Amino acid sequence: MIRRIASPAIVLAAFAISFLFSPYQLTLANFIGLASIVVLGLVLLTGIGGLTSFGQAAFVGMGAYTTAWLTTRFGLSPWLTIFAAMAVTALGAWLIGMLTLGLSGHYLPLSTMAWGLSLFFLVGNITALGGHDGMSGLPHISVFGAPLEGRSFTWLIWVFVGIAFISVKNLLDSRNGRAIRSLRGKTVMLEAFGVDTARLKTLIFVHAAVLAAISGWLYAHLLQFVNPTPFGLGAGIEYLFMAVIGGAASLWGAILGASILILIRDTVQDVIPGLLGSAGAAENIVFGVMMILILQFASGGISPFIARFLPRAAPRAVPDDALALDVREKPEPGRPVMVADGLTKRFGGLTAVNAMTFELDAGQILGVIGPNGAGKSTLFNLLTGVLKPNEGTLTVCGKRVENAPQSAFCELGVVRTFQHVQLRNDMSVLESVAVGAHRRGRDGALKALFRLDRREEAALLANAKRQIERVGLAGHLHVPAGNLALGQQRIVEIARALAADPAILLLDEPAAGLRYKEKQQLHGLLSNLRDEGMTILIVEHDMDFVMNLVDRLVVVNFGEKIAEGLPAEIQQNEKVQQAYLGVEE
Ligand code: ADP
Ligand code: MG
């Protein structure tokens, strides 16, 4: 309740207080607002999406220059040029994104510096854009013929802060938003559930750039003048500072970080030159020291400390009567759903999987066991489309898929869990499981921005809740996944896979690292799923775990199938005992 009225109350209070502001304080509020809009984009891009950009100032510049050029040369109204500024910047960001977003590690941040610098020098050398002297004489922004000046321009800026805030919040609170929140380090998992991660990265990159462009549009008409200086690399670094100081994963942190940095700069510029006797960019020394301290002692920024004193939001109830999601037509029991024929995978001279042949029928549980290094994980990757075989064929539900992209596997209902659990610790069980149903939703980011995706959202969440109840974790719906024990996390992964409406459920060493009790629970769950008619393939090292669970066993060693049959037969098989049990212990 307190949370619900908090935001409108803050907005009203800020509006009332703004009447008391001196012109000087209004100027500070303007610059805080302008920066907040950019930093909100950075929170989405860097803090949540994990893509570090030093180049946001260049997008601010694109927005500012677009409107400067169109309003002064062609006399267009700023209310038209805002759309041009957004479109030009979106296109620019899309092109830059195509070239750079595939870069990994430190190369992406480095490339953002490169284009941050090059756009700066480019604009400085184009005479049509005024070169280093810039362009002046931009018109006022008017509403019903009245130019916005002073206090009313501050309001305009903060209306856009609000729009930026809501746009990012709505995007994050959606089907794509859940995937965006998992982008950092979880792309293999996302791809396995049919998420196009390259597209998502482009989406948040363009969104952040468009917000920057809006800030640039406002800035240009506030000053009625543009030149390249405020859009250089230095400004880009400062925006990133603001995001980190405020708390790079928090939307309120964006406004907090912008406020802190701008207020400190303002103070320092007044005070330090008096102390040092020189007027150099003293604030940069202070920012540098602050940055080091924050990274050292509070890498989450300042907002988590403040959040501790605020009431926690109550989890939203999950609606039950939601619209139904598409359900896959299940293969008839007994029909082959996955057929591997001669699958071979070589790593250089090493043949990790050699001429693997087996058949999995609908409604069966097939176990693939073997000692460490036998080639189980490699086989698993071949069966899920992560690796492509050198030879052999793989058929799923009658379709040849050995060379198909990973998304095709998800489309056909080949759904997996991970040996090393792939959950985001800070995401609730409910949302983690809902990621599994990504492919079953249709509504895109644009619908999400205007919250037109609510019906489908309700359906996705209701489905996730059903799967969580199905695996027996109903009591943990809103608990962060990271708070659960490993055994429960594995079960959450199974629920996430079930949320995708699988034709085949593939489990990669589900019992690895579990305690005895946890193994029993997992065993019980898998038996139940088999009784429901689920088709399952388990790759497992632990022989006891699979013995009275699976219908059939395939034993591999050194990449080759050395035995196949009923569990009881395998237990008696001498070759298996030698190869497998001999290696173990
Ligand atoms: P398991 O999962 O049964 O323990 P793996 O499939 O992980 O076995 O490995 C089978 C063999 O292939 C091992 O000898 C391993 O070192 C090798 N191997 C696995 N992945 C790679 C890779 N990406 N590059 C080179 N060798 C690999
Ligand atoms: Mg393995």
The contacts of residue 95 (CB under 8 Å, 6+ apart) are: none
Helix (H) or strand (E) holding 34: helix 23-42
Asked if 400 and 393 count as a contact pair (C-beta separation under 8 A), the reply is yes
The contacts of residue 204 (CB under 8 Å, 6+ apart) are: 44, 45, 48, 49, 51, 180, 183
Beta-carbon neighbour count of residue 570 at 10 Å?
24
pLDDT confidence of residue 578: 79
Indicate whether 128 and 205 sit together in one domain: yes
Indicate whether 340 and 477 sit together in one domain: no
Q: Which of 179, 213, 237 is nearest to 434 (CA)?
A: 179
Indicate whether 380 and 488 sit together in one domain: no
Asked if 115 and 96 count as a contact pair (C-beta separation under 8 A), the reply is yes
Residue type, 497: A
Dist. CA 374 → ligand 2 center (Å): 8
Among protein residues, the one with the nearest Cα to ligand 1's atom 10 is 375
Q: DSSP per residue over 105-157, as a string? A: TTHHHHHHHHHHHHHHHHHHT-GGGTGGG-EE-PPPPEETTEEP-THHHHHHH
As for how many domains the chain has, the answer is: 3
Indicate whether 445 and 390 sit together in one domain: no
Beta-carbon neighbour count of residue 370 at 10 Å?
26
Indicate whether 24 and 152 sit together in one domain: yes
Is there a domain that residue 549 lies in? yes
Dist. CA 558 → ligand 1 center (Å): 10
Q: Where are the alpha helices (DSSP H) in 482-541?
A: 486-499, 516-531
Indicate whether 488 and 511 sit together in one domain: no
Beta-carbon neighbour count of residue 82 at 10 Å?
20
Give the residue from 460, 476, 500 where a domain finishes.
500
Q: Where are the alpha helices (DSSP H) in 173-196?
A: 175-182, 187-192
Helix (H) or strand (E) holding 568: helix 567-572
SS3 382: helix
Ligand 1 neighbourhood includes 583 CB (under 6 angstroms): no
Give the residue from 197, 231, 265 where a domain finishes.
231
What CATH number did the domain enclosing 397 receive?
3.40.50.300
How many Å apart are CA 174 and CA 278, to the nearest integer? 51
Give the residue from 188, 204, 231 where a domain finishes.
231
Answering whether pTM is above 0.75, one says yes
Dist. CA 354 → ligand 1 center (Å): 12
Indicate whether 496 and 408 sit together in one domain: no
Q: Which of 261, 341, 344 is nearest to 301 (CA)?
A: 261
Among protein residues, the one with the nearest Cα to ligand 1's atom 14 is 373
Structural tokens at position 168: 């990012």
Write out the chain's pLDDT in tens, 585 residues.
Answer: 566 777 788 888 888 888 888 999 999 999 999 999 999 999 999 999 999 999 999 999 999 999 999 999 999 999 999 999 999 999 999 999 999 988 877 888 899 988 888 888 888 888 888 888 899 999 999 888 888 888 899 999 999 999 999 999 999 999 999 999 999 889 989 999 999 999 999 999 999 999 999 999 999 999 999 999 999 998 999 999 999 988 878 899 999 999 999 998 888 877 766 666 655 667 777 778 887 888 778 777 888 888 888 777 777 778 776 677 888 888 888 899 999 999 999 999 899 999 999 999 999 999 999 888 899 999 999 999 999 999 999 999 999 999 999 889 999 999 999 999 999 999 999 999 999 999 999 888 999 999 998 889 999 999 999 999 999 999 999 999 999 999 999 999 999 999 999 999 999 999 988 999 999 999 999 999 988 889 999 999 888 899 889 999 999 999 999 989 988 888 888 888 777 656 444
SS3 417: coil
Indicate whether 373 and 480 sit together in one domain: no
* CA dihedral for 155, 161, 164, 167, sign (positive or negative): negative
Asked if 354 and 376 count as a contact pair (C-beta separation under 8 A), the reply is no
Among protein residues, the one with the nearest Cα to ligand 1's atom 23 is 347
Indicate whether 391 and 473 sit together in one domain: no
How many Å apart are CA 491 and CA 486, to the nearest integer? 9
CA 365 to chain centre: 33
Is there a domain that residue 251 lies in? no
CA 68 to chain centre: 35
Dist. CA 115 → ligand 2 center (Å): 42
Ligand 1 neighbourhood includes 557 CB (under 6 angstroms): no
Ligand 1 neighbourhood includes 381 CB (under 6 angstroms): no
Helix (H) and strand (E) counts for the chain?
Answer: 24, 14
SS3 351: strand
SS3 110: helix
Give the CA-trace dihedral at 302, 304, 306, 307, to 10 degrees.
160
Count of positions (residues) in the chain: 585
How many Å apart are CA 4 and CA 313, to the nearest integer? 9
Q: Where are the alpha helices (DSSP H) in 450-566?
A: 454-470, 486-499, 516-531, 543-547
Indicate whether 570 and 460 sit together in one domain: no
Query: Which atom of ligand 1 lies nearest, measured to the CA of 379?
Result: 6
Is there a domain that residue 168 lies in? yes
Is there a domain that residue 439 lies in? yes
How many Å apart are CA 442 and CA 457, to the nearest integer? 10
Is there a domain that residue 281 lies in? no
Asked if 357 and 465 count as a contact pair (C-beta separation under 8 A), the reply is no
Indicate whether 474 and 512 sit together in one domain: no
Structural tokens at position 475: 């009591």
Q: Choose which residue among 350, 368, 376, 509 to substitute to test ligand 1 binding: the one with the highest number of ligand atoms within 8 A of its C-beta.
A: 350
Indicate whether 56 and 150 sit together in one domain: yes
Is there a domain that residue 136 lies in? yes
Among protein residues, the one with the nearest Cα to ligand 1's atom 5 is 375
CA–CA distances in Å: residue 358 to residues 16, 259, 342, 402, 509: 73, 63, 9, 14, 19
Q: In what order do the strands lie in the sheet with 536-540?
A: 414-416, 504-508, 536-540, 365-369, 552-557, 560-565
Q: What is the pLDDT of residues 523-558, one digit of tens each?
A: 999 999 988 889 999 999 888 899 889 999 999 999
Ligand 1 neighbourhood includes 378 CB (under 6 angstroms): yes
Beta-carbon neighbour count of residue 458 at 10 Å?
16
565: left (phi over 0), alpha (psi -120 to 50) or beta: left
Structural tokens at position 536: 């399952």
| Domain membership of residue 219 as a residue range | 6-231
Asked if 496 and 292 count as a contact pair (C-beta separation under 8 A), the reply is no
Asked if 160 and 86 count as a contact pair (C-beta separation under 8 A), the reply is no
Is there a domain that residue 266 lies in? no
Asked if 370 and 392 count as a contact pair (C-beta separation under 8 A), the reply is no
